[in-house]
A and B are shown apart, each in its own frame.
Chain A
């Protein structure tokens, strides 16, 4: 089991560029989520999904899109990158449908927007 994998590990973008952060899990988990971590603010939920074809917004969804076409993959798209999106992004999955159990986190993607 690879667990939760994220690519890339590091990324530098220019303002206005778009990109997709990849997240995959091989544990057949229904629940997947994306968080951003900023100094002094903990982790904040961006979007989450309770199964293939179902997504919903978290606390800070603006500027990000997600889709869930398969159980395994949950990509996060930045439509037009802004410096305020400089952060560390974590993807997570959980074995129950709504995240009540332990969430398994990926290693993170460090994104810098210039």
Chain B
């Protein structure tokens, strides 16, 4: 079985603050893929990043950065200098390459981020 936990249900920040969204995952497989998706108030799901279990390099894309640590089973997402447009629900997700989780993407509960002007 696989599981994704996003312990922060809601986060509220003021514009220009940095914010980190936590994601902790569980899987018995050695090969797996982790994702982050954004769901703005309009409701669509927007892909942000994909990382496989063999690539522990951190990634930066503009104001977004991701920290993948296999030792703590975490894949955290940081927004630097947050903006009002970052207000959304953010989901972390996991799919494993084998066993009973084959082909099944598991999402965390989501973190609601509100950025105030």
Residues of A near any B CB (own CB < 8 A): 31, 33, 35, 40-45, 48, 50, 56, 58-59, 88, 90, 92, 98-105, 107-108
Chain A residue with the shortest CB-CB distance to B6? A42
Q: Mark B33-62, 1 if CB is under 8 A from A, else 0.
A: 101000000011101001000000000000
* 20 A-B residue pairings within 8 Å (CB atoms): A42-B6, A42-B91, A42-B107, A43-B45, A43-B91, A43-B93, A45-B105, A45-B106, A48-B103, A48-B104, A56-B103, A58-B104, A98-B103, A100-B95, A100-B97, A101-B50, A102-B50, A103-B35, A104-B47, A108-B43
Say yes or no: A108 contacts B44, CB within 8 Å: yes
Additional A-B contacts beyond A40-B110, A99-B104, A100-B33 (5; CB < 8 A): A40-B109, A43-B93, A102-B47, A107-B43, A108-B44
**How large, as a class, is the contact surface on chain B?**
20 to 34
Q: Mark B83-110, 1 if CB is under 8 A from A, else 0.
A: 0000000010101010000111111111
Which A residues are CB-close (under 8 A) to B102?
Answer: 98
Chain A residue with the shortest CB-CB distance to B108? A42
Which A residues are CB-close (under 8 A) to B97?
Answer: 98, 100
